[in-house]
Amino acid sequence: MSNERRRYFRIEDLVCLQTRLINPAELEQKLEDFWLNRHQFFARNEFNHNLNEHQADFRVIQDKMPELARYLGVLQTQIDHLTKAVLPEQSPVPEQDIKVSLSAQGISFPTDDAFKPVDVVELGLKLQPSHQELVIFARVVLVEDNDDIDLEDCGQYRVSLDFEHIHDADREILVKHIHEKQIRALNAERNNKP
């Protein structure tokens, strides 16, 4: 296990997931498009990331100038509605949840697809409950036969992938998502103690 993998926490989660094996002949063009043309969700994710980065500033404005804060809140809502209105028809991510093991560095999930180590897979990932959508190019690092098939974890294989190509704002969204899920789990555990 590399030091890079140890830096990130891993959680069990339910997400919507779309996978597409990338043909090695088209990989270079796909990655060029990914980095130069910005995938369809990047604008909204970058927008949300920037808003989160400036929440402290917004709270100061709320305290000192509540009218301006209300107006900025309306603008923020309008921009978010516009970005959501543009994207739904293009969304590659299905609405079916799948149980995964997720970190900001990689993902593991059951599948019937016969991926091979070193394959590159384009992932469309929709996080719950925020519905934020990410597009990530990941490399298969491990494929195992899924001997312990049950109703929640069905699939012939269990595949593990490392995120090789991910926009910084998307990685920040993953880190925040995982952190929030960990806090909720800890609070639930604390509340269930006698």
**Over its length of 194 residues, how does the chain's per-residue pLDDT go in tens digits?**
444 545 678 999 999 999 999 999 999 999 988 888 765 556 666 666 567 677 788 888 889 999 998 888 888 788 777 766 765 544 555 667 899 999 999 999 999 999 999 999 999 999 988 888 899 999 999 999 877 545 455 788 999 999 999 988 889 889 999 999 999 888 888 888 77
Residue 61 counted as domain residue = yes
Angle at CA of residue 190, ends 186 and 193, nearest 5°: 140
Do residue 121 and residue 58 come from a single domain?
A: no
The C-alpha atoms of residue 168 and residue 7 are separated, in whole angstroms, by 16
Domain residues for the domain of 50 are 42-86
Beta carbons within 10 angstroms of residue 93's beta carbon:
19
The pTM of the full predicted model, rounded to 2 decimals, is: 0.73
The C-alpha atoms of residue 46 and residue 50 are separated, in whole angstroms, by 6
Element (H, E) at 168: helix 168-192
Residue 1 counted as domain residue = no
Largest CA distance in the chain: 60
Do residue 26 and residue 65 come from a single domain?
A: no
Considering Cα of 31, then 142, then 147, then 134, what sign does the dihedral take? negative
Do residue 55 and residue 75 come from a single domain?
A: yes
Residue 2 counted as domain residue = no
The whole-number pLDDT of residue 14 equals 94
Cis peptide before 129 (omega within 30 of 0): yes
Do residue 118 and residue 169 come from a single domain?
A: yes
Do residue 52 and residue 75 come from a single domain?
A: yes
Closest listed residue to residue 127, CA positions, set 167, 89, 170? 170
Q: How many domains does the chain have?
A: 2
Do residue 49 and residue 138 come from a single domain?
A: no
